[in-house]
């Protein structure tokens, strides 16, 4: 029989076990922090009805959707109908559908986290993923939701990224009302045009002020040089501390009602973030941040790694006016963020910030003598019952080969029990990391290894 080449499609990240362990540790860290802040887990199906998924979108997103058909339904596509089912492309639309569908069984404010994979038919390109994890939190209010919740989100981001241990980072904030209000005061009164300007200034940190000024004064926008300069001055505002942020916000002068509302919200949020215990070194105003989606209506967030600005935002989100207007008449305002973990992991690994993990397997019980297998299994059971992950060599073979296997597989301790050890009531422990070995009384083995592993955990 001819062999089929074993391969995956481009744009998916498939990891070897020790890398998968590192990835899983990140997922666990994020989950632990989300739970610590009182967010509840949900999971939604990967496949949704196309009409449910594609109510709002169109444009870019719709061109990237994966449609799904069971074998029986394949014929139907010949008629040119759009298939009935599709894979989710984010977790926000499924959240909206979930909240609308289960509204009467949920308590509000509804605080959910969701960490699942999403699918986009992106062009194949380095660093673009067609399947990737999103790790989202959102707080959804019924009818209303205090702007104070907008301050909780950065507290969660801080807690997550501190534990992910990826170096210094800054949570950057802005407010869309402040931006729109400011543009309004400069004569950019049309909401559509404001949106276009928002999208341009969002490119400031990537493209630089020259590019943005040129675009704003160019044919499509036709703003005067003076207006463009004032927009550029506005969007270049950054703050160092909360006091500095307040000063810079005040220095913007009086403005429209929308502008004043945005300013008041930003000030309340900034003050509360500090009350949440987030150090002032870790959050700042950045008035160029707009986020691409129209969806956001107030506070917006981006998070950047101070020493790796090139990576871009590693965690973004914001406040929205109404989550699920396409499914329900209930008014459901909310605020949330998303971490695109697959891309983040890939970038951090690329930047040398993530190593291949040590194995989740702590101990390999080697096999010196097949007749002693019952002893080996009894030792393994003792270790496992103490929560120490243990593998037993069942196949046998040369001891040197068994050590080599442990070393290659990233297992730290290899245990040897031969005739000598049995006679003396001890076991030999080979520490493959320290390239050291020692004898320990059989009944002290669990305790000894527990201490060694706990020390290694602290030292990580």
Query: Which residues fall in the annotated binding site?
Result: 90-92, 120, 134, 138, 291, 295-296
Nearest-angstrom CA–CA distance, 161 and 152? 15
Query: Checking DSSP bridges between strand 110-119 and strand 131-140, what pairing results, if any?
Result: antiparallel
> Rule CB under 8 A: is residue 46 a binding residue for a second copy?
yes
Backbone phi and psi for residue 74, each to the nearest 5 degrees, phi listed first = -60, -40
DSSP 170: E
C-beta of 232: minimal distance to a second copy in Å? Answer: 35
Q: Which of residues 58-87 bind a second copy (CB under 8 A)?
A: 62-72, 74, 77-78, 80, 82-83, 85, 87
Q: Which stretch binds a second copy (CB under 8 A): 34-42, 306-314, 415-423, 438-446?
A: 34-42
Nearest-angstrom CA–CA distance, 200 and 373? 69
> Rule CB under 8 A: is residue 45 a binding residue for a second copy?
yes
> Rule CB under 8 A: is residue 101 a binding residue for a second copy?
yes
C-beta of 257: minimal distance to a second copy in Å? Answer: 23
| CA count, 13 A, side-chain hemisphere, 367 | 15
Reading phi first (left if > 0) and then psi (alpha if -120 to 50, else beta), residue 165 is in left
> Rule CB under 8 A: is residue 107 a binding residue for a second copy?
yes
Residues 352-381 vs a second copy: string with x where CB under 8 A?
A: -------xxx--x--------xx--xx--x
Closer of 5 and 459 to a second copy (Cβ): 5
In the sheet with 131-140, reading across from the earlier edge strand, the strands are 40-41, 110-119, 131-140, 334-340, 316-320, 296-305, 169-175, 283-285
Closer of 234 and 405 to a second copy (Cβ): 405
Residues 191-230 vs a second copy: string with x where CB under 8 A?
A: ----------------------------------------
C-beta of 384: minimal distance to a second copy in Å? Answer: 5
Q: Which of these, 261, 318, 265, lies nearest to 295 by C-alpha position?
A: 318
| Selected binder of a second copy within 187, 225, 279, 387 (CB under 8 A) | 387
CA distances to 128, 155, 315, 340 from 14, in Å: 14, 32, 22, 16
Q: Which of residues 226-285 bind a second copy (CB under 8 A)?
A: 272, 275-277
> Rule CB under 8 A: is residue 57 a binding residue for a second copy?
no
SS3 195: helix
């Amino acid at each position: 029989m001819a062999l089929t080449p074993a391969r995956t499609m481009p744009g998916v990240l498939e990891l070897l076990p020790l890398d998968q362990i590192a990835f899983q540790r990140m997922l666990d860290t994020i989950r632990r922090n989300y739970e610590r802040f009182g967010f509840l887990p949900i999971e939604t199906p990967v496949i949704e009805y196309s009409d449910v998924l594609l109510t709002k979108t169109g444009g870019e997103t719709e061109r990237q959707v994966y449609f799904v058909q069971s074998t029986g339904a394949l014929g139907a596509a010949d008629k040119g109908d759009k298939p009935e089912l599709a894979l989710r492309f984010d977790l926000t639309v499924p959240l909206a559908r979930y909240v609308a569908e289960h509204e009467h069984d949920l308590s509000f404010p509804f605080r959910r986290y969701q960490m699942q994979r999403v699918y986009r038919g992106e062009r194949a390109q380095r660093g673009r993923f067609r399947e990737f994890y999103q790790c989202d939190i959102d707080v959804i209010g019924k009818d209303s939701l205090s702007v104070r919740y907008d301050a909780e989100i950065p507290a969660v981001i801080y807690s997550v990224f501190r534990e992910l241990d990826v170096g210094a980072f800054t949570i950057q904030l802005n407010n869309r009302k402040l931006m729109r209000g400011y543009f309004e005061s400069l004569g950019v009164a049309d909401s559509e045009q404001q949106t276009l300007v928002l999208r341009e200034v969002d490119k400031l940190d990537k493209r630089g002020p020259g590019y943005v000024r040129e675009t704003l004064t160019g044919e499509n926008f036709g703003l005067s040089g003076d207006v463009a300069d004032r927009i550029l001055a506005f969007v270049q505002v950054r703050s160092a501390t909360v006091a500095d942020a307040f000063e810079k916000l005040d220095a913007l002068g009086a403005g429209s009602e929308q502008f004043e509302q945005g300013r008041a919200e930003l000030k309340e949020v900034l003050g509360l973030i500090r009350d949440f215990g987030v150090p002032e070194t870790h959050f700042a105003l950045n008035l160029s941040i707009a986020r691409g989606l129209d969806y956001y209506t107030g506070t917006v967030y981006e998070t950047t790694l101070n020493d790796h600005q090139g990576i871009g935002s590693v965690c973004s989100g914001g406040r929205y006016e109404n989550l699920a207007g396409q499914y329900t008449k209930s008014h459901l305002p909310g605020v949330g963020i998303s971490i695109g973990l697959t891309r983040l992991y890939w970038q951090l690994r690329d930047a040398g910030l993530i190593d291949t993990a040590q194995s989740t397997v702590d101990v390999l019980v080697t096999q010196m003598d097949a007749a002693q297998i019952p002893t080996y299994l009894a030792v393994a059971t003792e270790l496992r019952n103490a929560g120490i992950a243990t593998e037993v060599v069942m196949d046998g073979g040369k001891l040197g080969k068994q050590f080599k296997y442990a070393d290659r597989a990233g297992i730290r301790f290899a245990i040897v029990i031969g005739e000598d050890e049995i006679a003396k009531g001890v076991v030999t422990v080979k520490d493959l990391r320290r390239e050291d070995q020692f004898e320990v009384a059989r009944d002290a083995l669990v305790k000894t290894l527990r201490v060694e592993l706990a020390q290694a955990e602290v030292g990580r």
